[in-house]
Structure 1
Amino acid sequence: MVINVATFSYGIAAAAFFFLAMLLLTVWRGRIHGKALAVTCLATALWAAATAAEVASGKPLTLVTQLLEIVRNAGWFILLLLLMSPAKPASIGDFLGSKPAAQAITMLFVVLFIATICAYLQMDFAIGLMALISGAAGRVLLAVVGMLLVEQLFRRTPPDERWAIKFACLGIGGLFAYDFYLYSDAMLFRRVNAEIWSARGVANALTVPLLLISTARDPRWSFGIAVSRRALFHSVALFGSAIYLLTMAAAGYYLRYAGGDWGAVVQLGFLFGAVILLIATLFSGAFRSRLKVFISKHFYHYNYDYREEWIRFTRTLSESGPGVGERAIKSIAELVESPGGALFVHRGSGNCEAIAGWNLTLNCGSDADNEVLCRFLERTQWVVDMHEHDQSPGRYEGLVMPEWVRTSPRTWLLVPLILHGKLFGFVVLLQSRSSINLNWEVLDLLKIAGSQAASYLAQHEAANALVVARQFESFNRMSTFMVHDLKNLVSQLSLMLANAEKHKDKPEFQEDMLGTVEHSIQKMKMLLHKLSRSTSLETPSPISVGSLLRLAVGAKSAFEPKPALELPHDDAVVFANDARLERVIGHLIQNAIEAAPRNGSVTVRLRVQEDQAVIEVADNGPGMSEAFIRDRLFKPFESTKSAGMGIGVFETREYMSEIGGKLEVMSRPSIGTTFRMLLPLHQDGAQTILNAA
């Protein structure tokens, strides 16, 4: 008779929850996120039906039924978490991702799942503990957690909304309250009471009308809160790992008992290899990337959790460690799971120069002319997809890719950095680890992230410029003291000259005069050495580059190695200030002489390339590394020479930019260095050269 009552009881529960699930999937589809509640009701119905079937057959409950009960409890737990109000401080992301209680719940389900398997297979290790956890004590603990979650749901719901939620809380709370009563009695008397257990199905069925009332009262009763992607990612990874380990444990169990004398050895080796494979998979960047994309694509309406992404983006830009350029690349690359990239910044000459790289080094030194690409990005402000450009170049009308982009097969995206409507630069990203659909959401996020990164980079450059300006202010202050010393020297010499007419025949005066002159000369030499970077106020004019180079090289002819001059074009004319241009060229020649060994070579060449005069200063010295050229060569007030002030090359590049030219550096360690100055030809001079050709 008990068996018939139990079968009838659990059969009613299965029918009631199946009916509620069908209503949610058909008539009331769209209310309270019917999929989640429907799945929970279906899991409960399936558990009740399996229990009724096994009771009717007269057999004890199998492993399948026990696992279905755990799944049923997990479904109600998740539903309660989803129904919590977002207006309260604790969000689902916080609750699942960081709260110890939620982590304990997740681990509890995994332990119960494993415990049930172990107890059923009668494995030799930890049977007593597993049986205890998966028995009455574990079920009591689940019931207590369920009632606590119901209480939290009711307490977190605003008072004016409790009218609709209270019956659902009564129904779900009733499920867990009855379980608590059933398994508490079993713990007390060390056996499950047959009458209480048989009535459990009817008690579960009576909660269905309460759920129906809450569903019908307020059609707007919705979850209103999103599960954190991070929490779902870790939960999926944990659940997948648990299933994988259970599968491997079952396979190891079979190998142990089917392998004969070698069974234990084969089992241990197999399990060790399985664990190593799991760890390698979980730490794989490509696997994690694919899992994140899968979760965003199949579980959420939008690809990103914008709050979390923006916090991570801002934290990456602001953190210490690598340079600001590398951090800007990394912050944008992580939005699309890209493993690396490069940063190009727009300069006044029209080109975008590579200033930083993250897991990527682009060989763009031989093709640095990116003017067409820069103009296209500034005009359209598009994110350029290289795959789409290769397949349909007509969509990017007017865009001509530089050689370094076409020859780099891993290049995927070009993200413009727009600041105040102008192009600040762009970021080159490598192909992502997983397949990402570049829809409007992804493209918009990349654009706004690019603008934010541009603002941050511009602020960083402005701060550096302020530091340089303060250093120049200090330099000018130092120059003021030097002028004061020069005034004192002039006063001494003037006084000596005034007394010369009167005392010039006296040997003592002559001796003092020679000493004073010698001292003044030595002091002025020191001052001139320190103050040799003064700014000329002369206006620019057409200059013969060949004549200027002869003067600059002749001034350095007394040094070793003696610089050699090559002038295949002696009639090139540029428009610049002759004194200042001679000084910056002299800087480069002097640096080459100091870098080359005494028996080395320094060569100064002049050639004409289209509408530019190209001046090259080459030496066979020790050369410079790429890191030194990028980070220190053009930085003012930094010098490797003991007596250097560190503004020679900086001044040269600044003056080249002022007159529309450009300074390029090509250097290889242990081979040598070549500085190349590209100056626009003066129109009359350029026309003369073309006529001569």
Structure 2
Amino acid sequence: MNGWVGAISYGIGAAAYLVLGLTLAAGWRGRRRGGLLLLAIAGTALWAAVNAWQLAYHSVPLVWLWSLETAHLLLWLAFLWQILPDGGRLRRWRFASYALGGALLAYHWSAPWVDGFLGAWQVTEWPLMGQLLLALTGLVLLEQLYRNLHPERRWAVKFLCLALGTLFAYEFYLYADALLFKRINAELWQARGLISALLVPLLAVSAVRNPDWSIDAFVSRDVVFHSTALFGAGLYLLTMAAAGYYVRLYGGEWGRVLQAVFLVAALVLLAVLLFSGQLRARLRIFLNKHFFNYRYDYRKEWLRITAALSQGDDGMPLGERVIRALAELVESPGGTLWVRSDSGHYLQRADRGGSGVEIPWIEADDPVIAFMKRREWVVDLDELQRFPELYEGLSRPPWLADCRDAWLLVPLFHGHELWGVVLLLRPLIPLDCNWEVIDVLKTAGRQAAGFLALEETAARLLEARQFEGFNRLSAFVVHDLKNLIAQLSLVVRNAERHAGNPEFVRDAMTTVEHAVGKMSRLLEQLKSMGKAERAKRIALRPLLEEVVSARAGQLPRPRFVCEARGDLWVEGDADRLASAFEHVIQNAQEAAGKHGWVRVRLARQERQAIIEVEDNGPGMDAAFIRQRLFKPFETTKGLTGMGIGAYESREYTRQLGGDLVVRSTPGEGTCFRFVLPLAVSANRIDSDKKVPT
């Protein structure tokens, strides 16, 4: 037989044990049992690697080959002696097995027959008998281990017994065959590598199931699932190939035709089985039940649930995502969600998977709701019907009488409040609803309730912000109306004294015209509320002259100074910008008093327009400017002030890409400084002077 076949066989075995050994070594916590297991795995990896090298290149001394043959069996025996229960009756034979192994090793290093041992596969009987006894000792130890364990503990070591039982049984068969025919069978020898590799998954599962070996091992459920699926598919294909060959052999004239039809039909059936959700669910349940300590991979499930609840890219509403996240935990096809309303009732929010449940709401005092609030339990409707005493005498809800597929009622708790209830439909595959399933559903239900509460809070916050925006707009409107009323009231008060003065009448009509224009523009703003504001180019000099002229009716009259050559243009809404300037100038007039002064200055600094409103009033301290000046609805004018003028002026200036800063010294005065970006065409005009900052 070609030696490379055996080399590949042993090479695969060496790689498999090396990967297993490195994985377990990463989680070893220093205890003896785990150390012996790692030593046995490492010895097997070395044994397979040396055999692979020998079959490929024939350069390994035979004494090393036979020493490793004995040593790797001895290491597995040492591990079995270590984990054998204290009550094992064969513990007194431990020394005898070690002595046998030691004798065999000594024989390998001293016997003259070793040099030509494998050249013609001819062997003497003594070493073969020794290897046979070691294999037999391993089988006896496995029987004692399994029989002396408590029945509940056998679950943890059954795959170890199966793996090592296969290893020792094959060794026993190999050496018994060699003793019988006085010759080692080359095919049996070369097949050992692959056979040993097949045992690696069983050893890995055993390490996971026995944490007392102090090896923190993990076997991916997905790897086990897909490996099992591939193994099953391969076995199926081999069986079908053999059956096809049989059909061809005995089918007569129709043999080849029937073989082709049979193989295509087998492939179609395999595809149907692989895409069968029911079969995949059965396989997953079987593997979780028989290969793992727990049904769920909690890290993976937690990440999946979080992703399912938080990602709404597919347009699915949160209610349906909640049902889907819980249903996938138990292979349920769907369900229905009810969420608590402000009145305390639970309103139907979503339905998924065609549950057919049409229950618009559940009363707040429904017995099932009261039970879940009191006990925080998942209600298994099948168990409820069989054992109502477990649920404090609760009966099946009458509103589920027509829903035969109703299975579980899962509470969604947010804190200590029952935020919602999910009804899950019965899965296609029967699933044992044990404590682990219940705990996972309760935990996932709390996560789902948190997302539902967050969504409701966000909706309420959005509604509150909409009302806040409306109230803020109302405050701005009232503020502008207050200023207009103040101007018109001044005209009314002075009308009796100056009614015959033509200049007064002319000024009064100008004030009224200004007020009418202001209110008309205010109404236009209200009508266009919510629409995008279209910016227009505004010449600052005429706008400021107009604002200063409008404020000239109140003492002290502001004085306008333009230090920029030509017009400076900005982009924005002229009325809102004029209103911002007017608010600041009015505040400066009120601060300076009748005997003070107010100066408005326009200048240019590079690509910015600078507007300064300066007065010689009492000034403000830094704490007031920092904490109260620009805070809305904060005012120092008592009942006559709104406290939004400065805030509105700064906010609109910032909307235009500029800013409003204040420089003030108590006892000396205040300077409000508007900084606005110039329009593009204005940036091409060279400034005639620089303004110091």
Q: For this structure pair, what is the TM-score category when the shorter chain's length is used for normalisation?
A: 0.3 to 0.5
For the pair shown, the structure with the greater C-alpha radius of gyration is 2
TM-score, normalization by structure 1: 0.48
TM-score, normalization by structure 2: 0.48
